[in-house]
Amino acid sequence: MRNTYAARFMTAIVVVLITVCATAAAGQDSFNGIPWGAAPTAFGDLVNISREGSLAYYRREKDALSLAGIAPVKVVYGFVDKRFFAVYILLQPKTLITKIKQFIADDFGPPRAQLRIDRTIYIWKAERLKVKLKVYDDQPFFKVAYYYVPLSAKLNENRIEKGFEKSFSLKTDLDR
């Protein structure tokens, strides 16, 4: 009987910790334990996967990130001039979009939507963060991006996105 109570207690603690960690993943000061503006060399578990001029993209060796309890297909951390400014999270299946939208809206309020020919983009803005959820019409995945505005506002977003897309092969990563 004691073991049952202990197991229930430990389960409750784990659920609370997971909820707190997921909610705290994106904050005004850091994302997933990496302070915005930090240099990649401050973290031994980052591996460079792409570089283009002042932009560099990294992944973490053992990334335990989840959004709303959903494990991503891929997470890429972006640095400009050796300072952390963005994170890109690839998720699937598309049936999870509503859950992810609500998860982000709980922290940032309702989004603004942009309809494009081949995708829908939901945008949230906070004091120092911008969050985008992109849903591609012809792809089985969707992407969430967090941008640290003090560093990303100076960059052309198309340049940022192209560098991110070059940092991995969508087909290869989705097949894993």
pLDDT digits (tens, 9 = 90+) for 51-62: 988 999 999 988
- Nearest to residue 110, comparing CAs of 101, 119, 118? 101
Containing structural domain, residue 121: 2-175
Residue ranges in the chain whose pLDDT is less than 50:
4-24, 170-176
**What's the confidence (pLDDT) of residue 174?**
44
pLDDT digits (tens, 9 = 90+) for 130-167: 999 999 999 999 999 999 999 988 776 555 565 555 55
Token digits of residue 29: 């000061």
Q: How many domains does the chain have?
A: 1
pTM confidence score: 0.76
d(CA 128, CA 147): 8
